[in-house]
Amino acid sequence: MFNIILYISTLLLAHMSVLIFVLLIYLAPLIINGILTLLMRHQNLAKSTIISATIFPMISIITYWLLGKELDGTKKWMSFVANNSVSTGDTYVKINPHLTSISQMIFVIILYFSIEFLLLTIIKKLRGTHHENN
């Protein structure tokens, strides 16, 4: 699934808006990870918490890093950055031209692991509430 996101992102980059790019790169992996986590927890797989808390975010981070390495410095990416960095009055939106910079990677690591942790915490609380009601 992550390879599909990687392929679509690089293939259609010239025709994407920033919103679509953000949805594909940041939100889609979170949704996929969430669905997989819910499926694993629903089936009560013994190692589901360890897998979903570590493996799923790591796969997303590696995919992001591969995409960043694939795009960094290419004409497509530089064109995307130039076309989508805008300045209007006091507002300026600039896209980082280096997807794999330290700040970007720290953001992605925190994003993927914290959302996964939050989802696992919610599932645990819901299961606790569900068991108390039975």
Q: What pLDDT, in 10s, does the model give residues 46-63?
A: 566 777 778 889 989 998
Segment 16-55, tens digit of pLDDT = 888 888 888 889 888 888 888 888 777 765 566 777 778 8
Q: Is the pLDDT of residue 6 over 70?
A: no
Tokens (6 digits) for 66: 């591969």
CA gap 119, 125 in Å, rounded: 10
Taking Cα atoms as reference points, which of 69, 74, 38, 44 lies closest to residue 56? Answer: 38
pLDDT at position 18, please? 85
The model's pTM is 0.78
Q: Is the pLDDT of residue 76 over 90?
A: no
Handedness of CA 21, 40, 114, 108 (dihedral sign): negative
